[in-house]
Amino acid sequence: MNFASDNVHGVHPKVLKALSDCNEGAMASYGADPVTARAEAAYREILDAPEAVVRFVATGTGANALVCAQLSPSFGRIYCHDSAHLHRDECAAPEFYSHGAKLVPLPGEQGKFSPEVLDGAIRFGAAGSLNDGRNALVSITNATEWGTCYDPAEVAALARLAHQGGMKLHMDGARFANAVAGLGCAPADLGHRAGVDALCLGGTKNGALAAEAVVFFDPRDAEGFDFRRKQAGQVYSKQRYLAAQMLALAEDGLWLDLARHANAMAVRLGQGAVQAGGELVAPVQANEVFVRLPAEAHARARAHGAAYHVWQDQPPAAGEPVTVRLVTSWATREDDVGRFLDLLAGV
The pLDDT tens digits of the residues spanning 170-196 come to 999 999 999 999 999 999 999 999 999
DSSP H or E run through 141: strand 134-141
Q: How far apart are CA 338 and CA 336, in angstroms?
A: 5
- On whether both 28 and 89 belong to a single domain, the answer is yes
Q: How far apart are CA 328 and CA 289, in angstroms?
A: 8
- On whether both 313 and 297 belong to a single domain, the answer is yes
Whether 242 contacts 285, CB under 8 Å: no
- On whether both 246 and 268 belong to a single domain, the answer is no
Residue 39 has pLDDT above 80, yes or no: yes
The domain boundary, picked from 187, 219, 254, lies at: 254
3: in domain: no
- On whether both 248 and 164 belong to a single domain, the answer is yes
Q: How far apart are CA 6 and CA 208, in angstroms?
A: 11
pLDDT category, 346, cuts 50, 70, 90?
confident
Residue pLDDT, tens place only, 131-152: 889 999 999 999 999 999 999 9
Identify the CA nearest to 50 among candidates 168, 212, 218, 248. 218
Number of domains in the chain: 2
- On whether both 206 and 269 belong to a single domain, the answer is no
pTM: 0.95
8: in domain: no
312: in domain: yes
Residue ranges making up the domain that contains 55: 13-254
pLDDT at 314: 60
The domain boundary, picked from 232, 254, 276, lies at: 254
CATH of the domain at 272: 3.90.1150.10
7: in domain: no
Q: How far apart are CA 272 and CA 75, in angstroms?
A: 48
Q: Which residues, other chains included, contact 68 with Cβ-Cβ below 8 Å and sequence gap of 6+?
A: 78, 86, 94, 97, 98, 101, 137, 139, 170
236: in domain: yes
- On whether both 26 and 172 belong to a single domain, the answer is yes
Identify the CA nearest to 46 among candidates 223, 184, 189, 243. 189
- On whether both 100 and 214 belong to a single domain, the answer is yes
165: in domain: yes
The domain boundary, picked from 254, 275, 299, lies at: 254
Identify the CA nearest to 74 among candidates 104, 49, 54, 101. 101
- On whether both 196 and 173 belong to a single domain, the answer is yes
Section 314-321 average pLDDT = 76
- On whether both 97 and 193 belong to a single domain, the answer is yes
* Summary mean pLDDT of the chain: 96
- On whether both 206 and 216 belong to a single domain, the answer is yes
342 exposure class (CB count in 10 Å sphere: 0-12, 13-18, 19+): middle
171: in domain: yes
- On whether both 217 and 94 belong to a single domain, the answer is yes
Residue pLDDT, tens place only, 223-246: 999 999 999 999 999 999 999 999
- On whether both 290 and 223 belong to a single domain, the answer is no
Whether 57 contacts 216, CB under 8 Å: no
pLDDT at 10: 94
pLDDT category, 312, cuts 50, 70, 90?
confident
Q: How far apart are CA 327 and CA 19, in angstroms?
A: 26
6: in domain: no
319 exposure class (CB count in 10 Å sphere: 0-12, 13-18, 19+): exposed
H-only helix segments in the chain: 13-21, 34-46, 60-71, 85-88, 93-97, 115-127, 152-164, 176-183, 225-231, 240-250, 254-275, 295-303, 334-345
CATH of the domain at 85: 3.40.640.10
